[in-house]
Structure 1
Amino acid sequence: MKKLLAIFLFVAASMPLMANAETKIGIINFSEVMAKVPQKDAINQKLKKEFTGREEELKRLGQEIETARTDYVNNVATMTESQATEKKRSIQQKMSDYKLKEAAFKEDVEKRSREEQQKLGTQIRNAVESVAKKGGYNLLLDRQAAPYIDASIPDVTEQVLAELSK
């Protein structure tokens, strides 16, 4: 109880000191930063380059399946029962392979995309921190997080974007 009272008295006594400290606040429009971040295009190009081969393979496999289906539908009447069964199983096997490859492809793309987004998030946090330190800000808020922001509060969005461009 005495410790609690001592803590309360310390906090109460230091309140005027904290009130006198100059607090510098700024705002950032994070949605604008995310839309305009220069690294976004480079990330998209990197991922596209990384997965183009697998995407092309999936397209080729899909076309093979469609061709085999069309061939089966057009020629099933002239096939023996065993030929028709064999052809049908072959198509089903190709479809199964396609679905597995497609699921693995999507999973890999999502994983790599998340990894790149995390790297970008770290770069953005570092840029925000750098701008805050250079500008002497104690607090930077997202424009969309506050219901009202006075026009006199500086917007550092462009500064953050400039820092990310370096």
Structure 2
Amino acid sequence: MKGIGISTLAGVLLAVFAQTAAAEVKVGFVNSDRIMKEAVPAKKAQQKLEKEFEKRDQDLQRMAKQLQGMQEGLEKNGVTMAEGEHRAKEREFNDLNRDFQRKQREFREDLNQRRNEELAGVLERANKTIKAIAEAEKFDIIFQEAVYASPRIDITDKVIKALTETK
């Protein structure tokens, strides 16, 4: 529902309520954030990503410690070093720092891309599950975004349970 204005939403609701004026309207709500945090497929996707990127993350942490050590060495011994040696150490530090920044940026970009891929799959499964529940229980409309939703119409737990059962 992101991107839909209040007037458009009001028009849609008005149309739904007008068509079913004589019948009772069944409305539901799903908390997408909870599904992406609590559903088994979402948790498995997160674990898969952590495992996939673990080695690169550890390499970056090692590089960061190495940089920190080099910087501390330069600060501590910089005054007593010969000018040529000091310049060489600074150059080495700057080269490593550039390499670290590049690898860190690539890591974030790759991680974000893979996270989007994994979460798109989870979202697709969640939407199919929501639709199946809506059809089975004869919901007229189910919202995924709302400022407020009564716990009475919240079907998030049903969706999470259904996603767990349909591994």
| TM-score interval, normalised by the smaller of the two chains | 0.7 to 0.9
Structure 1 vs Structure 2: percent identity of aligned residues?
A: 21
Please identify which structure carries the higher helix content.
Answer: 1
Alpha-carbon RMSD across the aligned residues, in angstroms, is: 2.6
Task: Sort the Cα spacing of 1:165 and 1:20 in 2 relative to 1 into closer, same or farther, 3 A.
Answer: same
Contact 2:49 2:115 in 1 (8 A): yes
Match of 1:97 among 87, 96, 99: 99
- Whether 1:54 and 2:53 are equivalent positions in the alignment is no
TM-score scaled by length of structure 1: 0.74
CA shift digits 1:27-58 (9 cap, x unpaired): 12324434432222212211111111011101
Aligned-partner Cα distance in 2 for 1:29–1:62: 42
Match of 1:37 among 27, 36, 39: 39
Q: AA paired with 1:156?
A: I
Aligned-partner Cα distance in 2 for 1:87–1:19: 76
Q: AA paired with 2:89?
A: K
- Whether 1:133 and 2:132 are equivalent positions in the alignment is no
Aligned-partner Cα distance in 1 for 2:35–2:83: 63
Moved more, 57-66 or 33-42: 33-42
Query: For the pair shown, which has the larger CA radius of gyration, 1 or 2?
Result: 1
Q: AA paired with 2:91?
A: R
Extract unaligned runs of 5+ from structure 2: 1-18
Task: Sort the Cα spacing of 1:144 and 1:95 in 2 relative to 1 into closer, same or farther, 3 A.
Answer: same
Q: Which residue number in structure 2 is paired with residue 28 of structure 1? A: 29
TM-score scaled by length of structure 2: 0.74
The number of aligned residues is: 146
